[in-house]
Structure 1
Amino acid sequence: MATREINLELLLGKQVVDLTGKTIGRIEEVRAEKQGDEWVVQAYLIGTIGVLERLSAWNIAVGLLHLMGAHKIHGGYTIPWDKLDLTNPKKPHLLCSIDELKNFNNPQSQR
């Protein structure tokens, strides 16, 4: 399998578009796991919940939102590594429909 290196800090904040060209959100966080001496991207987090996870504030934010009456939280998507085209890192776009993405209904279950 061919590998490619991209500086992740250059991806953060980039808008992601779907197959129709509609913006679905910005890359806010990247999930990766260590494999040998390298880190391999598993998924990209899009939207406001990705920001909360990046800031490690997910548990606190969910607790506060539930106290204020929110029961269902939606604020982004998880994009598997192989469903995001980074041929042009300045303009990432989905390789699948938005319906195929996992909603952030419960990010804790996606880990």
Structure 2
Amino acid sequence: MTTREVHLELLLGKSVLDLTGKAIGRIEEVRAEQQGREWIVTEYLIGYAATLERLSAWTIGLKILHLLGAYKIHGSYRVPWDKLDLTDPDKPRLLCSLNDLKLLEP
């Protein structure tokens, strides 16, 4: 198995393309688990709700959005590590359809 390093700080904010080349949102957060002495990426959070997750502001952020009239946040996804092609880190691409992804919910 080949391992590859990608600097996470360079991925944050990058627009992710779906299978058709359409942008679905930006990488806002990365989740990882510790395995021994290493940290292994488990999933990428993409979209507006991921921004709230990144800022640890779910509760406050959702209340503010509700006050402004937004009751549901659309287009935020949890992308498993193996469903994101990082061959070109400047243009990450999904390796699956949007229907295969879980929505990011509080």
Aligned residue for 2:92? Answer: 92
Aligned residue for 1:20? Answer: 20
Q: CA deviation at 1:60?
A: 1.9
Q: Which shifted more, 92-101 or 54-63? A: 54-63
Aligned residue for 1:53? Answer: 53
**In structure 2, do the counterparts of structure 1 residues 65 and 96 end up closer, same or farther at CA, with 3 Å as the change threshold?**
same
Q: CA deviation at 1:66?
A: 4.7
* Aligned equivalents of 1:44, 1:6: Cα separation in 2: 13
* Aligned equivalents of 2:61, 2:75: Cα separation in 1: 12
Q: Which shifted more, 14-23 or 64-73? A: 64-73
Contact 2:13 2:26 in 1 (8 A): yes
* Aligned equivalents of 1:99, 1:68: Cα separation in 2: 29
* Aligned equivalents of 1:45, 1:9: Cα separation in 2: 14
Gaps of 5+ in 1: none
Contact 2:25 2:46 in 1 (8 A): yes
* Aligned equivalents of 2:75, 2:55: Cα separation in 1: 15
1:71-105 per-position Cα deviation (integer Å, ceiling 9, x unaligned): 4332411100000000111110000001111112x
Q: CA deviation at 1:58?
A: 1.1
Q: How big is the alpha-carbon RMSD for the aligned residues of Structure 1 and Structure 2? A: 1.6
Contact 2:48 2:73 in 1 (8 A): no
Identity, in percent, stands at 68
Q: CA deviation at 1:63?
A: 3.6
User: Counterparts in 2 of 1:28-67, with a 5 A limit?
Assistant: 28-66=28-66
Amino acid at match of 1:21: G
TM-score by structure 1 length? 0.85
Contact 2:25 2:75 in 1 (8 A): no
Equivalent residue pairs, number: 106
Gaps of 5+ in 2: none
1:28 aligned counterpart, secondary structure: strand
